[in-house]
Chain A
Amino acid sequence: MTMQTFTAPAATREATRPPRHSDQRKRTRAAWGFVAPSLIAIGLFFVIPMVSALLLSLTDFDIYALADLNSLRFVGLDNYQNLLGNALFWGAMKNTVWFSVLGVPLTLAVSLAAAVILNARMVLWRPIWRVMFFAPYVTTLVATAVLWNYLLHTRYGIINWGLTSVGLPAVDWLGQPSTSIPAILMFVVWKTFGYNMLIFLAVLQTVPDELYEAARIDGAGPWKQFRHVTLPAIAPTLLLVSIISVAAFFQLFAEPYVMTQGGPAQSTVTVLYFMYEEGFKWWNLGSASAVAFILFLCIFAITLIQLWVSKRLGATS
């Protein structure tokens, strides 16, 4: 892969005159004209909803308030308190944590392995594989989730056919709580590993060949080369990608919605799924906003912890 620089063509003419004051004013006015539509849209459809979400989470906005705003009351932190006492909410938190704890290392391992393999010079048709491995990432999530429902089908699925043909028992992947999360994770890893792989590949390409050469002369095998040359080179990227991945796993929604509808026995209800049901099935918009805020705080806290850990590791090594 060649990393082409992503820049505009060079200037063809030189400036001959410094700008005058009236020019500067005109330019400022033009600048505001250029940014205004975008800033207004961001203000209206991003900033205001964010702030309102916080306010909404402090009210008892429900289906009655939807019909008549006069029944809306300010309830302080009641929504948060109720959620912390709600077993279903804790179940959703627990499932989401499981998805991340299993899913993040799994995607990182798969995508890093694929990147290291594809980075080897001896591999044929590398540019083609690079695009092919990434392709599932751009496919329509709902459509490929439906597809994986059939790959995971207990009786007719290709995965169980593979298992039984090597003498293993068939698994009721999406039908029992103990395998529903791993089954959905198989799909998620298949769909998303190409994204991280491309990022890893781009960084691996910046590692100079001389470093590997030197390691080889020192008698380092493939594993030692990976451990002492590759890993240090990609450590900052590994952190970045792990942050992106945690945030992504905390926002799982369509996968359980399509594949399991949160089941079996609520085992795949994620926080976002819980928020969707609370908000748009039961119309408890106040409580659902509180869920959204807790979700945000979790993602934010995890990001901070990851940054802190990496700083500590950076300081000691």
Chain B
Amino acid sequence: MKLKPRVIALNLAVAFIALMVLFPLAWMVSVSFMATGEAATFPPPLLPDSWTLEHYRTLFVTQGMGRYLWNSFALATLATLLALSFTVPAGYAFAKLKFAGRDRLFQLLIGALVIPAQIGTLPLFLMLKGMGLVNTYAGALVPWLASIFGLFLVRQYALSIPDEMLEAARVDGATEGQIFRRVVLPTMQPIIVTLGLFVFLGSWNDFLWPLIILTDQSNYTLPVALAAMSREHVQDIEMMMAGSVIAVAPVLILFLALQRYYIRGMLAGSVKG
């Protein structure tokens, strides 16, 4: 067999990349179960001497981790629901309903996609301060309402809905609202899952905006709380790893469960766009 060495080399290369990618995550989980001080030894231990839940307990009992977890979860859920209810009808209308100036408006929005959202951060903060929304959930949620990327993603998908299907419903006397609920929404289920997943993960992992807008510790999300804790508890390796596991595990599990939707949507948004 002439091909054999190449097959082995390729699979070894893959195994090497897999080790590089997955080892840090596995090590994070392992260290989070080690006794205090165990990770601060050389050479670094791979597995705990005796497994302990001590750090998870400390995080929830004395560090307020339950509160941060709840904030992250509530904000991500609300952001998902709000983003979907704003973006899905609009994306459908841009694809399938005719109105004056539709295509020019859409081109303008696509052009605006090159503008990094961070530029508006400062005036948005001042605006929300004027409205009394600093340090509130509402303030943290606001940027998720205005997702041009989501609009683009939904429109791309809605373009493939056959006009005949909508016409048939119109002939049957359905109003546009009924058509949207009964005909359009069921066919859009995959893109709704995809966009919902994007927004949920995006909100959960977001850092700069919650850091700015959520000023009170009781409103911190997990990333903001972790960043603050990592400055205070530099030496507590095991506890910080437990905190990181709490932040990463939910989104990682969610992604693995729905990865098909995530990856398809990601490729639809970048390659074809």
| Chain A interface residues (CB < 8 Å from chain B) | 3-4, 6-17, 19, 23-24, 26-28, 30-32, 34-35, 37-39, 41-42, 44-50, 52-53, 56, 114, 117-118, 120, 122-124, 129-136, 138-144, 146-151, 155-158, 161, 165, 190, 194-195, 198-199, 202-203, 237, 240, 244, 247, 250-251, 253-254, 257-258, 261, 272, 275-276, 279-280, 285, 288-289, 292-293, 295-296, 299-300, 303
17 new A-B contacts at CB < 8 Å, known A34-B176, A150-B31:
A26-B176, A38-B145, A45-B142, A48-B123, A122-B3, A138-B201, A139-B251, A140-B248, A141-B207, A150-B39, A155-B40, A198-B267, A257-B227, A288-B122, A295-B119, A296-B119, A300-B114
A140 pairs with B99, CB closer than 8 A: no
Q: Which residues of B contact A131 (CB under 8 A)?
A: 256, 259, 263
Q: Given the complex of chains A and B, what is the CA–CA distance between A143 and B247 in angstroms?
A: 7
B182 interface residue (CB < 8 Å to A): no
Count A-B pairs with CB separation below 8 Å. 317
B7 interface residue (CB < 8 Å to A): yes
Contact with A along B167-198 (1 / 0, CB 8 A): 11011000111001000000110110000000
Q: Which residues of B contact A156 (CB under 8 A)?
A: 39-42, 44, 237
Q: A53-B120, A114-B17, A251-B118 are in contact. Are A34 and B256 (CB under 8 A)?
A: no
Q: Which of B36-66 contact A (CB under 8 A)?
A: 39-44
Q: Given the complex of chains A and B, what is the CA–CA distance between A111 and B231 in angstroms?
A: 32
A237 pairs with B271, CB closer than 8 A: yes
Q: Which residues of A contact B89 (CB under 8 A)?
A: 34-35, 37-38
Of A13, A155, A275, A300, the contact of B164 (CB 8 Å cutoff): A13
Q: Which residues of B contact A240 (CB under 8 A)?
A: 270
B226 interface residue (CB < 8 Å to A): yes
B170 pairs with A23, CB closer than 8 A: yes
Of B10, B25, B151, B191, the contact of A38 (CB 8 Å cutoff): B151
With a 10 A CB-CB cut-off, give which of A41, A194, A253, A257 has the most chain B CB atoms. Answer: A41
Q: Which residues of A contact B74 (CB under 8 A)?
A: none
Q: Which residues of A contact B42 (CB under 8 A)?
A: 155-156, 161
Q: A122-B11, A123-B14, A147-B241 are in contact. Are A28 and B99 (CB under 8 A)?
A: yes
Of B7, B10, B122, B160, the contact of A53 (CB 8 Å cutoff): B122
Q: Which residues of B contact A288 (CB under 8 A)?
A: 122
In this complex, what residue of B is CB-closest to A275? B118
Contact-residue bracket for chain B = 35 or more
Q: Given the complex of chains A and B, what is the CA–CA distance between A42 and B87 in angstroms?
A: 10
With a 10 A CB-CB cut-off, give which of A19, A150, A151, A303 has the most chain B CB atoms. Answer: A150
Contact with A along B17-29 (1 / 0, CB 8 A): 1101111110110
In this complex, what residue of A is CB-closest to B17? A114
In this complex, what residue of B is CB-closest to A17? B171
Q: Given the complex of chains A and B, what is the CA–CA distance between A272 and B243 in angstroms?
A: 26
B244 interface residue (CB < 8 Å to A): yes
Q: A49-B127, A251-B118 are in contact. Are A141 and B223 (CB under 8 A)?
A: yes
Q: A42-B109, A45-B145, A147-B28 are in contact. Are A198 and B266 (CB under 8 A)?
A: yes
Q: Which residues of A contact B71 (CB under 8 A)?
A: none
Of B163, B207, B262, the contact of A142 (CB 8 Å cutoff): B207
A15 pairs with B168, CB closer than 8 A: yes
In this complex, what residue of B is CB-closest to A237? B271
A34 pairs with B180, CB closer than 8 A: yes
The 11 sampled A-B contact pairs (Cβ below 8 Å) are A10-B162, A13-B165, A31-B97, A46-B120, A131-B263, A147-B244, A158-B27, A199-B270, A202-B271, A288-B122, A300-B114
Q: A4-B264, A14-B168 are in contact. Are A143 and B122 (CB under 8 A)?
A: no
Q: A23-B170, A133-B17 are in contact. Are A11 and B145 (CB under 8 A)?
A: no
In this complex, what residue of B is CB-closest to A16? B171
Tell me the minimal C-beta distance from A255 to chain B in angstroms. 10
B168 pairs with A30, CB closer than 8 A: no
B112 pairs with A46, CB closer than 8 A: yes
B248 pairs with A139, CB closer than 8 A: yes
Q: Given the complex of chains A and B, what is the CA–CA distance between A43 and B124 in angstroms?
A: 12
Of A4, A133, A150, A244, the contact of B241 (CB 8 Å cutoff): A150
Q: Which residues of B contact A44 (CB under 8 A)?
A: 146
Q: A15-B171, A257-B227 are in contact. Are A136 and B205 (CB under 8 A)?
A: no
Q: Which residues of A contact B191 (CB under 8 A)?
A: 6
Tell me the minimal C-beta distance from B83 to chain A in angstroms. 10
B165 pairs with A11, CB closer than 8 A: yes
Q: Which residues of B contact A303 (CB under 8 A)?
A: 114
Of A46, A257, A258, A299, the contact of B148 (CB 8 Å cutoff): A46
Q: Given the complex of chains A and B, what is the CA–CA distance between A106 and B251 in angstroms?
A: 27
In this complex, what residue of B is CB-closest to A57? B122
Q: Which residues of B contact A35 (CB under 8 A)?
A: 89-90, 93-94, 99
Q: Which residues of A contact B168 (CB under 8 A)?
A: 11-16
Q: Given the complex of chains A and B, what is the CA–CA distance between A289 and B23 in angstroms?
A: 41
Q: Which residues of A contact B259 (CB under 8 A)?
A: 131, 134
Tell me the minimal C-beta distance from B70 to chain A in angstroms. 16
Q: Which residues of A contact B164 (CB under 8 A)?
A: 11, 13-15
